[in-house]
A and B are shown apart, each in its own frame.
Chain A
């Protein structure tokens, strides 16, 4: 509702804001954020947080160009990068759960390791090859999906969203996810393998971060280890603004979709009315405070039972 309100306000305030070409641009930006936010949503749902998302996006961004430039088949590049990211994410989840350390610390450390490893392997990331043209077309606002004038990344995000929401609501894993986030002790007593849930969630988080990083490779030239940096604040903001509880066990990706769309439309509107980057950050910070004030005052699910 808020997204629609802001969008309509934008249409009144800014000439051409609701034009179809602009809507396609907004959807591309939202899709990239939406895909990157999948992992953050899962991590938050189980009561954690994933600070390694930007590093894994940078890893996939640089390494996709680097490996493809070395003559690898792009299909193999994708498989290798997603598998590597999945292993890294699984290691984060496992070590966090096994050591009893907060994932905030573990994922921060993992981010540092990943960034350092990329720099060591690429010796600076001086990749000089292009990714396949279809990647660029998929994230271009002018791109098509078959006969549809809808960029491929938007369709991919829609499919991912449907699958993820169905996974949360209609599967055993989904119920285990909420049970683990709501109360890990109770979930264990109910024979939910909470460690496995954590490992899967953090692995999926890393995989979707890597997908986002590869897609960013098609967005614009110049593979960069820092390509994912803006997505730390944005993914957490999307989850929080969407209304998923940072305490875990409540919310879901459906809400994150709302948060992603609201953030994208709102920040674009801010650009349109001339609010600079600092102003945007202040207003977004204020929005998060407001949202947390509305949604975040309720006790954790585990304390309500």
Chain B
């Protein structure tokens, strides 16, 4: 009798679950299938043309005129303000470089770490750095990262390069660094701390342009799904907001739904298989917000679905190999981890040499990879199983001249 009672209770629970799920699902799916978005971007003036996000007006006032286009959408992923080191007197070289890392346990971050070691070694050979790179990793703990920043200040670091856990939560430690004349510089991430400066790729415009490219490949009509990264992160929000705003501007493009891939190929593949199993209709295109294009393509192929049109973001080696092997038409932006950190070191060294930027946030575009230049980026040892990312051949994301309007000494 006990067993029967348990089974009855379990079945009742399951039935209740299914009712709740169906109710939740019908409302959710109707929202996603309508293609509507909660984007703060203004109304589209024409397909592909989207107005600046609401917060941009104030942020762009501070940006040098020559860089305003490159800072479009900056308010979605950074808090732009004046340079907090405007009255700073940099220490004399050689400088002690330190790294406060929020997380180092993936291949992208390990490549960044190697890039930082190489940058410091090069500076040391030039007599501009001393004592190698000191690294502390908080393993995702924001409170520990704050404590470690204080430790690095106490160790006599002149510069703290940071891969922060998040935009805030360690600001008192950054203030302490500033009080001790230490430059605090975040790498490929913005910080809300008033005494932090940092660099970041423009996630908004890059994904806006990627979405526009895909919409044009679709001929401005059809159904697409979006591969989403890590929900809850500011970068993911900026990327998705930009892309949704673009797709909304095309009246005949319907965003059928999103697939949560968490920027991890195996997660993305599993999620894509589940999505395809429950969405039998035609899907014309798949929008990738970060290194999940191969997973999506494989899911379509292995379930016998027609290959969708696809963009890619990050130019991961896996997609470049798939793109090449299958002779596709695609587009991507190269977010090389080594070049990302080289860019940050270039900027930090300029500040240490006394060059003063106008802002606290350095925003830059990424190199475009398309069918015209794919052979310059693809390497024969890249395969669909590769875990690496394509790097610009000169090791930098932008030329020195790009930053001329930002600094008081120009180029």
Residues on A lying within 8 angstroms of B by beta carbon are: 1-2, 5-6, 9-10, 13-17, 19, 21-22, 25-26, 28-29, 32, 61-62, 65, 115-116, 119, 122-131, 140-143, 216-217, 219-227, 229-230, 266-279, 283, 286-287, 290-291, 294-295
User: Do B231 and A62 have beta carbons less than 8 Å apart?
Assistant: no
User: Do A221 and B298 have beta carbons less than 8 Å apart?
Assistant: yes
User: Do B302 and A141 have beta carbons less than 8 Å apart?
Assistant: yes
B residues 266-324 with Cβ under 8 Å of A?
A: 266-271, 273-280, 291, 294-295, 298, 301-304, 316-319, 321-322
User: Do B387 and A268 have beta carbons less than 8 Å apart?
Assistant: no
Further pairs besides A274-B29, A283-B24: 8, Cβ < 8 Å? A115-B105, A126-B110, A221-B322, A221-B386, A223-B386, A224-B107, A271-B275, A283-B21
Known: A19-B280, A22-B277, A25-B276. A274 touches B257 (CB 8 A): yes
CA–CA, A219 to B388, complex, Å?
17
CA–CA, A232 to B13, complex, Å?
25
User: Do A127 and B298 have beta carbons less than 8 Å apart?
Assistant: no
The total of Cβ contacts below 8 Å across the A-B interface reads 225
Known: A128-B382, A226-B105. A142 touches B304 (CB 8 A): yes
Residues on B lying within 8 angstroms of A by beta carbon are: 6-7, 9-11, 13-15, 17-18, 20-22, 24-33, 104-107, 109-111, 113-114, 231, 257-258, 260, 264-271, 273-280, 291, 294-295, 298, 301-304, 316-319, 321-322, 381-388
Can you identify 14 A-B contacts, CB atoms within 8 angstroms?
A19-B280, A25-B276, A29-B273, A122-B110, A124-B113, A130-B384, A220-B266, A221-B294, A224-B265, A229-B267, A230-B267, A268-B278, A272-B274, A272-B278
Residues of A within 8 A of B271 (CB): 271
CA–CA, A274 to B227, complex, Å?
14
Secondary structure class of chain A's binding surface, majority of residues: helix
Known: A16-B280, A128-B383, A226-B106. A273 touches B22 (CB 8 A): yes
> Which listed residue, A141, A143, A220, A295, touches B294 by the CB 8 Å rule?
A220
User: Do B280 and A276 have beta carbons less than 8 Å apart?
Assistant: no
Q: Distance in Å from the Cβ of B175 to the closest Cβ of chain A?
A: 31
Known: A128-B317, A221-B295, A225-B105. A275 touches B384 (CB 8 A): no
Residues of B within 8 A of A125 (CB): 106-107, 110, 387
A-B complex: 8 closest residue pairs judged by Cβ atoms: A273-B25, A272-B278, A274-B29, A124-B110, A221-B318, A16-B280, A221-B384, A220-B269
User: Do A15 and B280 have beta carbons less than 8 Å apart?
Assistant: yes
User: Do A1 and B7 have beta carbons less than 8 Å apart?
Assistant: yes
> Which listed residue, B21, B231, B386, touches A277 by the CB 8 Å rule?
B231
